[in-house]
Structure 1
Amino acid sequence: MKAKSYIYVLILTFLLGACVSPPDNFPTVPEISFADVSYVELDNSIDSLLVSVKFRDAEGDLGLDARDINPPFHPLEYQRDGQGNLITYANRPSEAPSYNPIDWVIDPIVDNVEVMDTIWVEQNPNFSNIFIQFFIKRNGTFTEFKWSDPPYYTTFNGRFPVILEGDNQRAIEGTIKYSMRSSGWRSIFRNDTVRLDIQIQDRALNKSNTVSTPEFTLNQISK
């Protein structure tokens, strides 16, 4: 087997292993598998729901950093009318949503100019590189719990950092440990049976397969 440049990575602790010869079948599209899920509850603090997935990727083009805000990794698409003008809340068309903190932003900076108004936007999914869906089991069936719906208007999609700096592509495998922090886990899920679906995306916008955690309650995975 031909030797290749290869690295093993544990995201968030940035532990880099020695170079070895990886298998020849590392995928161009990231490939992930479930590793672990746990819940850490702290007195008088924000609790953490942690999920870990193992990954393999042929090019190692995984991760985004804070400077990655230009297309295709920009956070927002600003909605415009037929004349190219930004759509404000006061002049919104009938199909525009009512005000909420996902679909509207206040006083944004657009093309390096601060716009002193409330502007209609669309979230760019490529701003994130890890995607988390929540499901709750009711009457034996899992139904998606949509954080983007009222009253939460949020998401637990996010970013993990760049793994390999520079343009030197190489095969990598490792583990991503992703922490989702909230003070409301207990009040929302209580004794519910929950499942998470996880997917990642590389810098070429290739989405991995989706993996699921086993079903769990917070008590079952508490540490």
Structure 2
Amino acid sequence: MNAKHLSYCLLLLISAGFLTQCYLKPEFDTRPKIKFESIRSIQLTENGLTRDSIIIAIEFQDGDGDLGLSATDTNPPFQELNADGTPNEFFFNYFVRMFRRQNGQYVEFIFPDP
């Protein structure tokens, strides 16, 4: 490699170093912010079967990266099991109750055990 190529490579490396130092890390509040973005329904067809699906998009910011509860948040109402030994729906922080519309009424859909 001749001196001209070496000086170009050196200049490129120095420029890249300066450019990477220009990035400012954003500072977000440690309290999570969640914002609804969109909702849309789609139909998926696979092997001749058509299924309806819904896609819900949210935007969130969380300054410390622990969206939701911390591992130490195990006191009521966030304990793993309820007093009667049943699983607590709030233990994992996020839960979804599914409903299907049947004959104009919304009926809760319980997923079968795998």
Structures share a fold, TM > 0.5?
A: no
Structure (1 or 2) with the greater helix fraction: 2
**Larger C-alpha radius of gyration, 1 or 2?**
2
- TM-score normalised per structure 2: 0.45
- TM-score normalised per structure 1: 0.26
Larger RCO, structure (CA 8 Å, separation 6 or more): 1
